[in-house]
Structure 1
Amino acid sequence: ARLGADVKVNDWLVGGLQFVTGLQTTPLTPNQTEGIAQGKYVFGLDRAFLKATPTPWLMVEGGRFANPFLSTDILFDPDLAFDGVAATFSPKLTDNLTSFTTVGAFPIEEIESSNTNQAKDKWLYSLQSGFKWQAPNKSTVKLAVAYHDYKNVEGQSNSNFLNDFNATIPAFRQRGNSTFNIDQLNGGNSGLANPIALASQFEQINIIGQIDFLNFDPVHVTLTGDYVKNIGFDKNEIFQRTGEIYDEETDAYQVKLDVGTSPFLGTRHEVINKHDWQVSLAYKRIESDSVLDGFNDSNFRLGGTDTKGWALIGNYAFDKNAWVGARYLSADTVSGFPFSVDVFLVDVNAKF
């Protein structure tokens, strides 16, 4: 369950809060395992932000807010919240053409560095720029290029008989990224049960395009293509830092076709009408070190990278703002040990 509210402070400033039930120990899905023995459900703060729009072409938000970038779930899970600050510039170039540029700085994990703790704060710095073109019949074309630079997320080996880089271990990850044991040099002296950290640095180029055809209005036919390349992977640098050799598997892409009368995003301001519908078909291929496995889709092959396969999705509104959805996700590994997972999800949703 989600409970949220926006508060209009004045004509240009809005505040927002959102609480969620469910699993509170990950940055991704808040799915709740039901059962009487589970006890009371716990609410967690999922959004808390201020959003300023001093001009029609400038928006600045800070706090904990939704993904500010045009992207898909191969890069960021839909439930992932961004902590930090972001600004979007969207000047209108012509009657039919609008540009947009988003910049942001997002702390991932704060580290209290000291003489005995040599790890550094982990950050994400991002820049995306693109355009949106609208045809006379309201069909649209979007194209954007983004650069996402993750700072200090890669692991560092502990020194002899020291635990100076324990904090380079990620606070949360799923599966797929190349990893190594940070205790290789100190003989397991850290005492950590799972001293595993990320081998690669992550510095991503993301290209995304979307065409939304309204030739069959009110039915939308939307084609989306998304590509990610991790240019931060450096085999020689990884070997010098970890003593390990890894294959370069740094590409990810998704192609998706949506057909229907509503996108069923489930956002607070979206109005879903009775008998709205949508069906979607997508193919994904996500190599091991293309994206950070702790932030991407948590359902496809149960989360993470080193995965490829298909997704079939359907939604139908049986009344206003009430709908049923079903997803069938079939995925295999790209290059690791064979591990196929088929996931079938059914959701009944209502919003008010």
Structure 2
Amino acid sequence: MTRSILCGTIALVLASATALAADSEDARLKKLEAAVSQLQQENATLKTELQSQGASTSSTDFANSAAAKIKMSDSVTQVRLYGEGRLRYFMNEGTAAGLDSGDSAQRERLRYRLRLGADIQLQDNWMLGVVLETSTSPRSANVTLGENPTFAKATVSSTSVVGGVTTTNGTFINGATIKGGKIVTSNGTVVTGVATSKSSVVSNVNFGDALFVGRAFLQNQPTDWLTLRGGKLPNPFVSTRMTWDPDINPEGFSEQIKFTLGGGSHGPSGKESKEVEVPQPGITVDLFANFGQFIYNDVAFENTFNPDPFSTAPDSHDRWMFEYQIGTKVNFTKDNYFQIAPSFYHYTGGGNSASSGPFNGDNAIVILDNKANTSLITFNQTGVNDLAVIDIPVEFGWKMWNTRFSVFGDYAQNLDAASRATNAGHPNTRQGQAWQLGASIGQTKKKGDWELRGWYQHSEQFALDPNLIDDDIFDGRLNMQGYFLQGTYMLTDGVSVILQYCHGSRIDTNLGTGGTGGALGTAPGFPLQSMNLVYIDLNLKF
């Protein structure tokens, strides 16, 4: 039918051209108008028939497809699924400081991690973001192979404890004194013998292959320049691994604002700025501001019932972390850019003793300062007292010889470092700065791509939050300096091999190496003089 319509159209045009050559101007115009009108009608008829045939075929194909079997709410406009699977060889070795100076330890592990995520877009610019991942650690989704014996998915360890003590005649002891060299109970009975009963308590639970909610948040974008989020959400700030572990998803609220000035957009500013690129001519300037209000530590009850009528239970308050960031990214071309994003973060009072108590950073061998501050005997490694940190990450990237290059750095200073050091029992030091300087060459987007990346890092004892720093660098410890090297090669699209090496050594030998640590099985606060970390990853992302 299509062929007949086209042949008729051609014949009609030829006939009109012949008539136009012989007739007068008016007659030719009338015949031309009639020919055009007939052609338009035939084209409209053809278009209707083709659309009907296409719709019928498309409807049939979709009805028989696998996608037609998935039922979703009418409010869902789009669903994006993504995930990651990784196998890792990990080796960690360290040399002790302090009284164990010269002693060393080494640990090797095979590990895996799994992440499955979904971004569910709804009408009116609402979105639900969810990520499920292995491990309960906030700074890692890794699970050690063989950690649970005989391939168990989870294990529970228990420890025997004394559940009760009774006398040989069966009387339960609720009090006793020594009289004349003999044990006498509170009712005056002389104890001639005792018996104990044992109970067991759970000492450790290893969840093994269980999946946990690593991210769950609601998002709304009321305008194209404002994004609002709430829940357990991705880190909204431009940051480096010196200050923020990329595995950490803070809990609370965030607001992100962005305006683009100039001839076009090269993609969103921030952490994903290099992942999405839309080539446009001319220089553009992205102006952005990010704000976060994170619940750092919930105390459960702000006000509780008094335990007895003669006492008053003290009120308590949650601890919050607040961060503010204002930055800019100048896109000279789609490949050349400069970005700077200063931020400031601090904490409110409150929280439990672990987060609100004074950070120490030393271990149990430390000698108390001359003020004999007895609170130091807790040797707190996680306290966030006296932290008011200015952080300034900077990056400059360009393309040359068809290869991507970048130089980057970060500088942070705790404005309250002197008070933090004094409360830790070290009034004669400050140790409040941290900095990083590095470079990269190459990119990793498709099969055959490669990248080399490295930096030098210096993190002083009282400069940063020990709970947020990347534990893949210096084992998550402060008062350390050294370098980190990484090489990546793309085996195919989405599959890469990554080799990483980190070396660090203690900065101030009079201080511990504060932080959670743990890769070498040490107790919190155990001081290290130096360490080496090696990672070999096979990584798959989709």
TM-score of the two chains, using structure 1 as the length reference: 0.82
The root-mean-square deviation of aligned C-alpha atoms, in Å, is: 3.1
1:71-104 superposed Cα distances (whole Å, 9 cap, x missing partner) = 1011110101111111111112323111000111
The match for 1:343 is 533
The match for 2:236 is 68
The structure with the larger Rg is: 2
2:398 pairs with 1:221: no
The match for 1:51 is 219
2:165 pairs with 1:18: no
Aligned partner of 1:255: which letter? L
Aligned with residue 320 of structure 2, among 112, 120, 123: 123
The match for 1:308 is 481
2:416 pairs with 1:232: yes
1:138–1:67 distance in 2 versus 1, CA, 3 Å: same
Cα drift, residue 168 of structure 1: 2.3
1:176–1:223 distance in 2 versus 1, CA, 3 Å: farther
1:228-267 superposed Cα distances (whole Å, 9 cap, x missing partner) = 10112243x875x6776362111001112111122xxxxx
Aligned residues: 321
The match for 1:198 is 383
Cα drift, residue 39 of structure 1: 2.3
1:109–1:200 distance in 2 versus 1, CA, 3 Å: closer
The match for 1:135 is 332
Aligned partner of 1:273: which letter? K
SS at match of 1:170: helix
Cα drift, residue 215 of structure 1: 3.0
In percent, how many aligned pairs have the same letter? 22
1:323–1:243 distance in 2 versus 1, CA, 3 Å: closer
The match for 1:328 is 501
2:411 pairs with 1:255: no
Q: Distance in 2 between matches of 1:175 and 1:278?
A: 39
Cα drift, residue 304 of structure 1: 2.2
The match for 1:147 is 344
Contact 2:361–2:381 (CA<8 Å) still a contact in 1?
Answer: no
Range 136-145 or range 290-299, more displaced: 136-145
1:91–1:212 distance in 2 versus 1, CA, 3 Å: same
Gaps of 5+ in 1: 154-164, 263-271
Aligned partner of 1:170: which letter? S
Cα drift, residue 297 of structure 1: 0.8
TM-score of the two chains, using structure 2 as the length reference: 0.54
Q: Distance in 2 between matches of 1:214 and 1:43?
A: 41
2:297 pairs with 1:99: no
1:135-190 superposed Cα distances (whole Å, 9 cap, x missing partner) = 1353111011101112237xxxxxxxxxxx9x221399x99489999x965999xx
Q: Distance in 2 between matches of 1:187 and 1:100?
A: 42
Q: Distance in 1 between matches of 2:436 and 2:388?
A: 19
Contact 2:341–2:392 (CA<8 Å) still a contact in 1?
Answer: yes
1:222–1:11 distance in 2 versus 1, CA, 3 Å: farther
Cα drift, residue 200 of structure 1: 4.3
Aligned partner of 1:64: which letter? K
The match for 1:159 is none
Range 224-233 or range 29-38, more displaced: 29-38
The match for 1:2 is 115
The match for 1:80 is 248
Q: Distance in 1 between matches of 2:257 and 2:332?
A: 22
1:78–1:116 distance in 2 versus 1, CA, 3 Å: same
1:50–1:177 distance in 2 versus 1, CA, 3 Å: farther
1:276-323 superposed Cα distances (whole Å, 9 cap, x missing partner) = 211111100000011111110102221121110011101111011011
Gaps of 5+ in 2: 1-113, 154-208, 264-283, 304-311, 513-527
1:321–1:151 distance in 2 versus 1, CA, 3 Å: same
1:194–1:339 distance in 2 versus 1, CA, 3 Å: closer
Aligned partner of 2:145: which letter? E
Q: Distance in 2 between matches of 1:42 and 1:117?
A: 39
Aligned partner of 1:128: which letter? Q
1:132–1:168 distance in 2 versus 1, CA, 3 Å: same
1:288–1:187 distance in 2 versus 1, CA, 3 Å: closer
Q: Distance in 2 between matches of 1:34 and 1:223?
A: 37
Contact 1:312–1:327 (CA<8 Å) still a contact in 2?
Answer: yes
SS at match of 2:355: coil
Contact 1:202–1:232 (CA<8 Å) still a contact in 2?
Answer: yes
Aligned partner of 2:260: which letter? K
More helix by share: 2
1:199–1:279 distance in 2 versus 1, CA, 3 Å: closer
Cα drift, residue 202 of structure 1: 0.6
Aligned partner of 1:253: which letter? W
1:73–1:195 distance in 2 versus 1, CA, 3 Å: closer
Contact 2:360–2:380 (CA<8 Å) still a contact in 1?
Answer: no
Aligned with residue 33 of structure 1, among 121, 127, 144: 144
1:175–1:52 distance in 2 versus 1, CA, 3 Å: farther
Contact 1:204–1:228 (CA<8 Å) still a contact in 2?
Answer: yes
1:322–1:341 distance in 2 versus 1, CA, 3 Å: same
Contact 1:199–1:242 (CA<8 Å) still a contact in 2?
Answer: no
